[in-house]
Structures are given as C-alpha cells and as structure tokens.
Amino acid sequence: MSEILTIGMPDCRGTLSALSLQEDKFMLYQGKDLEEQAVLQTAARMCLAARTAPKTHGRDTIHTYVLTGEEKEALAKKMEEVGTREMGEEMWTWYGRDAKNVRASKAVVLIGTERKQRGTKRCNLCGLGGCAGNKKAGGTCSFALLDLGIAVCSAVTTASLDKADNRIMYSIGKVAEEMDFDPGCAWLGIPLSSSGKSIFFDRGITHS
C-alpha cells in the first residue's frame, strides 16, 4: 500500500478506506494481515485523539497525516538527507537511526500545529515581547506548541491503549517541515510498530 491518509483536514490528499474485515466463505484470517489493519485503525484513532484533545483558547490549529508505503520510505530517505546535512558522519547516531525505525514501522502518524501568533493581549509567554515581537523574531506561538504537546500526548495514549508500539520523534517533525506537507506548521512524528519486541528501544546508538 502506498498512500497518505489524511484525517479531518479540508485539503485532504487521500481518503481513509473502510478497514473492516471482509468476510469470505472460509472465515480464516492470517494474524499478520489483521495486525496490519489494526495498526491503521490505531493510526486513525490517534488522529481523532489529536483532533479532540483540549486546545488553548479553544482554537483548533492541529493538522494530521498518516504515512505508509512509498510515502513512509520518502520520509526515511529525507531523514537521512537532512541528517547528513546537519550532522555529517554522525548522522547515523540520530536521524539515520530514526530513519531505520521509520522503515521498520507499519505507519507513521504526523501531528502538526500552525506556528502563527494568536494575537493574545498581555501575554508574552514566548518571552519575545508579545505577538508583535514574536512575529518580528520569526518565532512560534507558545500556545501553538502547548497544543501540539497536548495533541501528541493524547495520540500516544490512544496507541498505548491499543498496545501498538510507538515513539515520539522530533527528527521526523523537523524533516516534515521540509517536505510537501502543510506549510507554516511545527510537526512531531510517531511511528507505529507491531512486533514481538518494540523496535524503538535498545537501539544501541546514542547521540551527543
């Protein structure tokens, strides 16, 4: 399968097909096939959890995508490209390591938030002199990042309840900003795996 599943956004580039099992006359299903479907069902619920998570000021600026197949591979390749640019030979201690996890995962959930200022008076939570100072400095609204954190926490809680192995990755989010997703957003990525042992721990590689 090669598609981007977009959930709840007006500019959707894909559609989420029915994930219900199709009955056949034998009524026998391979566990691996069911696990593939279960991961996509979990990804869909994670997008829902991000959408319904509490928002600062009640403003919804959350964007979500689910990557599989060729789109997931394109993400992994871009991670290696950015890692080489940012870290040189040490790329494999971070971006390369995470790209390996992306390739081994069944799907990647992207959750982002719009960076733009909220226009909140008497705030200055960002420490840049309020919204005007934040915009002049090219900053990101602190409330936007709060919303992203809340949405991601809600999403990974959903994954945990579904028993799907997952890990929040900044490296995916940084790379997503350079790819063909919604501009002006800050992103975090969550790869999902269904294996006998979590692929996201005991990776044996650390970075400074």
> Comparing C-alpha atoms, which of 83, 100, 108 is closest to residue 167?
108
Q: Is the pLDDT of residue 124 over 50?
A: yes
CATH class of 32-193: alpha beta
Rounded percentage of the chain residues whose pLDDT exceeds 70 = 85
User: If pLDDT is split at 50, 70 and 90, which confidence band does 73 have?
Assistant: very high
Q: Is the pLDDT of residue 191 over 50?
A: yes
- Which amino acid appears at position 8 of this protein? G
Neighbours of 161 (CB within 10 A): 11
pLDDT at 147 (0 to 100):
97
User: If pLDDT is split at 50, 70 and 90, which confidence band does 145 have?
Assistant: very high
* DSSP states of the chain: ---EEE-S-TT-SS-----SPPP-TT----HHHHHHHHHHHHHHHHHHHHHHS--GGG---EEEEEE-HHHHHHHHHHHHHHHHHHHGGGGGGTHHHHHHHHHHSSEEEEEEEE-S----TT--TTSSSHHHHHHHTT---HHHHHHHHHHHHHHHHHHHHTT-EE--BHHHHHHHTTSSS-TTEEEEEEEEE-SSS-TTS-------
**What's the CA gap between 158 and 87, in Å, rounded?**
33
**What's the CA gap between 86 and 170, in Å, rounded?**
14
> The tokens 């696990």 sit on which residue?
35
Span 135-147, mean pLDDT? 94
Backbone angles phi, psi at 8, to 5 degrees: 75, 15
Domain ranges of the chain: 32-193
**What's the CA gap between 184 and 141, in Å, rounded?**
12
